[in-house]
Chains A and B, each alone.
Chain A
Amino acid sequence: MAKKNISFTLNGGQVETLVEPRELLIHVLREQLGLTGSHIGCETSHCGACTVDFNGKSVKSCTVLAVQAEGGTVITVEGLAKNGALHPLQEGFMQEHGLQCGYCTPGMLMRSYRFLQEIPNPTEEQIRSGLSGNICRCTGYQNIVKAVQYAAKKLQATGGK
């Protein structure tokens, strides 16, 4: 299959790579670009382990073609910490024990990252609904909710930085 050259912004830097038109974004991120933080859990868009931020929206990168990323902006879990400082969400997940096996965590973090920009001061019900595209098999979500609340509070205090 003829390959196509694509270029897009990834975690603040520009990347360029050759992909097959049928190749999925998750595979290109993980296997070509070496960013294995985003995971594959179901290949059918149900579990959210592959969630990344794409052009200001949460997407499940197992059902996005890599060629669709052309000219776009992608943020993965690897791009969440800034200048060596953890993002308040990362801090929140650690402080509130919002993870166990860690497999859903990158997707949870990336969904929460976008969610808190959509609803900066959410209720618990809004958090549960906002994260309902992401499945966790370990935590029972209660501490994930707390982690997002922790981050929301911290982001509010620091003006969203």
Chain B
Amino acid sequence: MATVTEKMEREQKLEGVGCARKRKEDPRFIQGKGSYIDDIKLPGMLFGSIVRSPYAHARVKSINKAKALAVPGVVAVLVADDLKPVKLHWMPTLGGDVQAVLADKKVCFQMQEVAMVLGTDRYSAADGAAMVEVDYEELPAIVDPHKSMDKNAPIIREDIADKKEVGHGPRTHPNHIFTWDAGDKAGTDAVFASAPVTVKQEILNPRVHPCPLETCGCVASFDKITGQLTVYMTSQAPHLVRTVLAMLSGIPESKIRVIGGDIGGGFGNKVPVYPGYVVAIVASIVTGLPIKWIESRIENISTTGFARDYHGVGELAADKDGRIKALRFTALADHGAFNSHVSATKLPAGLFSICTGSYDIPKAYCKVDAVYTNKAPGGVAYRCSLRVTEAVYLIERMMDVLAQKVGVDKAEIRRRNFVKAEQFPYTTAFGWQLDSGNYHPALEKVLKAVDYAELRKEQAQKRAKGELMGIGISTFTEIVGAGPTKVCDILGIGLFDSCDIRVNPTGSAIARLGTMSQGQGHATTYAQIIATELGLPSSEIQIEEGDTDKAPYGAGTWGSRSTPVAGAAAARAARKIREKAKKIAAHLLEVAEGDLEWDVDRFKVKGNPSQTKTMKEIAMAAHTGNRPEGTEVGLEAVEYYDPPNLTYPFGAYVCVVDIDRHTGETKVRRFYALDDCGTRINPMIIEGQIHGGLTEAFAVAMGQAIPFDAEGNHLGNSLMDYFLPTAVETPKWETDYTVTPSPHHPIGAKGVAESPHVGGIPCFSNAVIDAFAHLGVTHMDMPHTAHNVWKTIHKLGLDKNP
């Protein structure tokens, strides 16, 4: 079997799809040679420091720049009035609203941007910012979104108070943004009215922040002579940003270059365009000097890109055995002072309607009301697709609520309701076509791995002794890879993505894509896809992204769309090249194309395997005169890929916790995560992404929240207060997988990095709440800090001795 071995060796040499190859990005990062935004230093560069509002709601009566301008090193102070001549004191948001770039007459949230001080270095800019005198007249603030639409509620947005709509349909109150619904309301109501079992639960997804280790920032550099604007920026979507900047500034898009560089984590925080970027750009246009603006951590948590703040109500109707007949979910969404919610134009509540989860639910209806409050604008999708965490949290929590109501085991309730393997492709009550899935075996594999039956036995024994042990299950379905351009666009631009591959004469290649890595390892994994398709070693395939002058247009990296969309573009571009290569091979071997077959890294003549042309040989020939008649020189292709559907990765997770009944402290004893992301490109990177996503899920479920007092003051916006788990708190993760390829993706892959976050959060919550289930507790809101859990314990009187 020498040929089989030889073929395998050739395959291994490519380090293509399926290979756990080490990351190409790492050598520069481990030697301190990354190139992040704050590392950029341009000649004459000024620093911008932002003056921010101490009040959540106030009129700006006057701003006095004099003392700031007298500070040594301060060059200029910009306020809204300075931005007016260039019409950049307001900007459009990704949510169809407008947002003040610098406060125009009033501030609507604490820490809102009021002025930017430019200094020759970061110290003088900060000194100057401290000396800007702003006279405010404080106004009553709205913090609780439930009070936003009260009759006498103060009007937060006077600028749009009379507008009948702000991008998404009719408004009923000046603090109302939109009401969106989906599904069959009447049909759902009818089922609820006659169902033998119904359950209802209020469920909060608290306001949190993605908090990547690198904050947001940019270096804007406008060349007054050429009219060229270059912006180095922490952006997950450089091309979309360039389009927004062109729309905003009137500078032709071809004269704007946005460069992502290395990004120190994004998790959704780095999708929107923030006021700081815009002021820095205006300042550079005005001064002709490069301007650097870098957020502090407190500015980051306070202002740029909160997530969630969804106040949900879940309802399920079922038969007496817990088979679900209808679902009704509603949510009140707190979007803060400006609707800068990242969403596709036609989907103001994002992909919330994926909330039927992994279950076969005949009737469903959902509705989201979005309102303004005096809090920072948002929200971004924190390591998830738009509003998918909120949706999945609701359904996975409600499955447990239902199980408790009908007295069925929490694994069994899922088994009874899963979409069955033979039902795929399965169209949900909301119209999403789940492309593939195989839920039952995934759950059974996990239950076996953790010995679920034994765990339940142990739990019963512990309960008898008064101890608190919880077992959480989450069997989620994600929706990622936005997306079909017919369904998903931002500012009118469809969410396609792209790949441009050029093969060099010696058989190495460069590929450029419209996405933007923030640590996902794109330079490694895209090269693997192309390696397998082209038969060229991945080590010789260079990947570039994030520079809009070089890469083809794409919607960037968020919502786990890189593999589903740009990864598909890479495979298809490579296939175009292989098609051309086949013509060249046929010419060189003097046979018809039909006589050739692909063999790992070469074409061979059918029935005559010694007659071959390797891809490397073909690459050289493509650049010579020895080509088939009528073919162009060179070997390259571009693919702009508009996927026919999103992808639907899924998983089955189990979490076991032990809770101290005196302190409320929760110890995660075990977390077992099985993920199915279809074809696995690089198992090492997948596992790393899952570890990271689970850790962020742990953070959200167990500790993260951005609290405010009644006046809208932040009560926790530094890392002193905001919970980022360290190695000590972080549980140990056990991972597992099944493989159910996506039928519509060229290589069968689905997104993966967000699944553990989306699926992990309800799993932790379900585990904590399960510890109290025998005492009639059906729900506890996140975060499950020791204090919050203790409150439940105390209420139940469990902390009494003995």
Residues of A within 8 A of B (CB): 20, 22-23, 27, 30-31, 35-44, 46-47, 49, 76-78, 80-81, 86, 90, 93-95, 97, 99-106, 109, 127-129, 131-145
Contacts and interface: CB of A to CB of B under 8 A. Distances in A.
A59 to B, nearest CB: 17
Contact of A139 (B29, B122, B518, B688): B688
Contacts of B263: 101
A128 B728 contact: yes
Contact of A93 (B30, B267, B727, B728): B30
Given A44-B719, A97-B688, A142-B732, A49 B30 contact: no
Contacts of A20: 123
Contacts, number: 172
B692 A100 contact: yes
Contacts of B732: 142
Contact of B733 (A102, A138, A140): A140
A137 B32 contact: no
- Of A27, A38, A39, the most chain B CB neighbours within 10 A belong to A39
A134 B727 CA distance: 8
A145 B29 CA distance: 18
A90 B727 contact: no
Given A102-B25, A132-B727, A132-B728, 19 more contacts: A27-B122, A39-B213, A44-B297, A44-B718, A44-B720, A76-B32, A97-B687, A100-B520, A101-B265, A102-B26, A109-B30, A137-B212, A137-B265, A139-B691, A140-B691, A140-B695, A142-B691, A142-B733, A143-B691
Contact of B30 (A31, A44, A105, A145): A105
A2 to B, nearest CB: 12
A110 B34 CA distance: 16
A109 B122 CA distance: 27
Contacts of A78: 31-32
A53 to B, nearest CB: 13
Nearest to B698: A140
Interface in B488-534: 518-521
B788 interface: no
A83 to B, nearest CB: 14
Interface stretch (B35-43, B150-158, B451-459): B35-43
- Of B32, B520, B688, the most chain A CB neighbours within 10 A belong to B32
24 contacts: A23-B123, A30-B39, A31-B41, A39-B214, A41-B215, A41-B297, A46-B718, A49-B213, A77-B32, A86-B31, A101-B212, A101-B214, A101-B518, A102-B26, A127-B727, A128-B727, A129-B727, A133-B726, A135-B726, A137-B267, A137-B724, A138-B692, A141-B730, A142-B730
Contacts of A144: 727
Contact of B213 (A31, A104, A141): A104
B297 A43 contact: yes
B27 interface: yes
Given A46-B720, A105-B30, A95 B688 contact: no
A132 B726 contact: yes
Contacts of A44: 297, 718-720
Nearest to B697: A140
Nearest to A31: B41
A27 to B, nearest CB: 7
B22 interface: yes
Given A39-B36, A129-B728, A131-B727, A99 B29 contact: yes
A27 B691 CA distance: 32
B800 interface: no
SS of A interface (majority):
loop
B123 A137 contact: no
B6 to A, nearest CB: 28
Contact of B26 (A80, A99, A142, A145): A99
Contact of B519 (A36, A138, A141, A142): A138
Interface in B9-57: 22-23, 25-34, 36, 38-39, 41
Nearest to A35: B32
A60 B694 CA distance: 27
Contacts of A132: 726-728
B601 interface: no
- Of B22, B688, B724, the most chain A CB neighbours within 10 A belong to B688
B213 A137 contact: yes
A36 B262 CA distance: 13
B694 A140 contact: yes
- Of B215, B518, B726, the most chain A CB neighbours within 10 A belong to B726
- Of B29, B212, B215, B297, the most chain A CB neighbours within 10 A belong to B29
A47 B264 contact: no
B360 interface: no
A141 B727 contact: yes
Contact of B719 (A47, A101, A129, A141): A47
B432 to A, nearest CB: 30
Nearest to A142: B691
Given A40-B38, A128-B727, A94 B694 contact: no
B722 to A, nearest CB: 9
B611 interface: no
Nearest to A105: B29
Given A103-B264, A138-B692, A145 B727 contact: yes
B545 interface: no
A41 B724 CA distance: 12
Given A78-B31, A101-B214, A106-B32, A94 B726 contact: no
Contact of A86 (B30, B296, B691, B694): B30
A88 to B, nearest CB: 11
- Of A40, A47, A100, A106, the most chain B CB neighbours within 10 A belong to A100
Given A129-B728, A143-B688, A102 B264 contact: yes
Contacts of A145: 727
Nearest to B684: A97
Contacts of B691: 139-143
B68 interface: no
Contacts of A100: 265, 519-521, 688-689, 692
- Of B41, B294, B519, B520, the most chain A CB neighbours within 10 A belong to B519
A92 B22 CA distance: 11
Nearest to A36: B39
B696 interface: yes
B685 interface: yes
B211 interface: yes
A137 B692 contact: yes
A13 to B, nearest CB: 15
Contacts of B685: 97
Interface in B278-333: 294, 296-297
A131 B518 CA distance: 23
Contacts of B25: 102
A65 B380 CA distance: 36
A133 B267 CA distance: 22
A95 B34 CA distance: 18
Contacts of A133: 726
A40 B263 CA distance: 13
Nearest to A27: B122
A47 B331 CA distance: 34
A20 B123 CA distance: 10
Contacts of B720: 44, 46
- Of A49, A132, A144, the most chain B CB neighbours within 10 A belong to A132
B213 A135 contact: yes
A101 B26 contact: no
A38 to B, nearest CB: 7
Contacts of A31: 41, 121
